[in-house]
Amino acid sequence: MSEPTGRQERPSVRQAARRAALDAQAKLRASRQERDKRLAVSATEVLIALGERDAAVTEYEIRAGAALRQLLDDEDLTPAEVTQWCGPSLTVREIARLRRLGDEPPRSRRNSERAQQRASRAPMGGSTTERTETLPNDRPPQTSAG
């Protein structure tokens, strides 16, 4: 039997080294793919949550705009009077923006139905016209006798 020469050993060493490198690279690729999947799921959750938040904000701003229209149009209040009733955080500019939102028709019937369902489940889902409490400016002005 003849002993293996250096030339015969080299191909098997090279093959083993290539195989080891390919195995390491495959593990690295698999690890990266798993991480990419986790990142994609998390990024999708972020975008879904932000989209739901934006939809909810829009829905409530439309409700606020409709209520502002009632104050401005039906009750003939000025924007300054609305600010007195609602507080200084509601600026004239914000009143105008919300009022425009309240004038917009719903984007689609499906969105409108969803908004109504959410509103009916909301803790403050009652109508703004059902309020029975009196506020300081509800009382008629007192005249001085004299």
**What are the extents of the domains in the chain?**
23-119
CB 70 within 8 A of CB 97: no
**pTM for this prediction:** 0.52
| pLDDT tens profile 102-145 | 776 655 444 555 655 655 564 444 444 434 444 444 444 444 44
The pair of structure tokens assigned to 126 is 């009652």
| pLDDT tens profile 9-23 | 577 999 999 999 999
CB 100 within 8 A of CB 65: yes
- Residue 64: pLDDT band with limits 50, 70, 90: very high
CB 64 within 8 A of CB 100: no
